[in-house]
Amino acid sequence: MTTSTSLLTPQDCCVLLVDPQPGLAFAVQSTDRQLLLNNLLALGRTASAFSIPLILSTSATKVYSGPTFAVLRQALPDIEPIDRRSMNAWEDDAVRSAVQATGRKTIILAGLLTEACVSFPALSAVRDGYRVLCVADACGGATVESHRLSLDRLRDAGVEMTSWLQFLLELQRDWTRHETYDAARAIVEAHAGGYGIGLSYARDMIKPPTPAATPSPASGA
């Protein structure tokens, strides 16, 4: 079991999204599905903004689960999903090899469903010496109670809990880090509800939008 109290950096980690597919979202009862999709998209955009390797795994695309959510495909056009048969992504050679190939020993994990396709690789990766953080608000369970129990079991096994917003802020840490400022702020404004509205408001108060110029009358009018 690998746990740590150290803050994350973009160089430490990779992101593993497991089965963000609409067919599985039909079963989600632990949270609002639109909010779940918002949070998965925010997590994917965060990985891209901080140049963090992202592995995306799918299952049963042709028979039940369908393709990756369209908004994720649009936001992450360069990510090729790894389709697998095993319920445990860690038992799929291609998925596990893709994680190992990043050289990172910290896995940021989210997806569907919490009870199985999130829990199983999390437990297996911890067993194999990885530090694993579960982005709990980007996971969906079949019931509120089973989602909670799954997260409790993961926590007991050494998996750390986080949210997509905490993950982003932990990576940014200082709004004077200009190389990621614009992208990080745009993600917060688009996906973080009231906090995003507040950031947008603060920006407009500090630097109000420039009014559009009024066209001058045509000569001779």
For residue 38, being part of any structural domain is answered with yes
For residue 220, being part of any structural domain is answered with no
pTM for this predicted structure: 0.90
For residue 3, being part of any structural domain is answered with no
Closest CA to 38 of 115, 138, 124, 147: 138
Domain count, the chain: 1
Closest CA to 108 of 65, 156, 61, 171: 171
For residue 185, being part of any structural domain is answered with no
Query: DSSP assignment, residue 78?
Result: T
- 30 and 143 Cβ atoms separated by less than 8 Å: yes
For residue 97, being part of any structural domain is answered with yes
Query: Domain with 85 in it: what CATH number?
Result: 3.40.50.850
Please indicate whether residue 133 or residue 202 has the higher confidence score (pLDDT): 133
| Residues noted as catalytic | 117
Q: What is the mean pLDDT of residues 20-44?
A: 97
For residue 132, being part of any structural domain is answered with yes
Q: What percent of the chain has pLDDT over 70?
A: 94
For residue 3, the model assigns a pLDDT of: 55
For residue 218, being part of any structural domain is answered with no
For the segment 156-182, what is each residue's pLDDT rounded down to a tens digit?
Answer: 999 999 999 999 999 999 989 999 999
Kindly report the number of other CB atoms within 10 A of residue 40's CB atom. 28
What residues have CB less than 8 Å from 102, skipping those under 6 apart? Answer: 14, 53, 55
For the segment 78-123, what is each residue's pLDDT rounded down to a tens digit?
Answer: 999 999 999 999 999 999 999 999 999 999 999 999 999 999 999 9
* Block residue for tokens 């989600």: 28
Domain that holds residue 92: 13-174
For residue 221, the model assigns a pLDDT of: 42
Q: What is the mean pLDDT of residues 144-164?
A: 98
Q: For residue 51, which phi and psi values (nearest 5 degrees)?
A: 55, 45
Inform me whether the pLDDT recorded for 216 exceeds 70.
no
Q: Give the chain's mean pLDDT.
A: 93
For residue 196, being part of any structural domain is answered with no
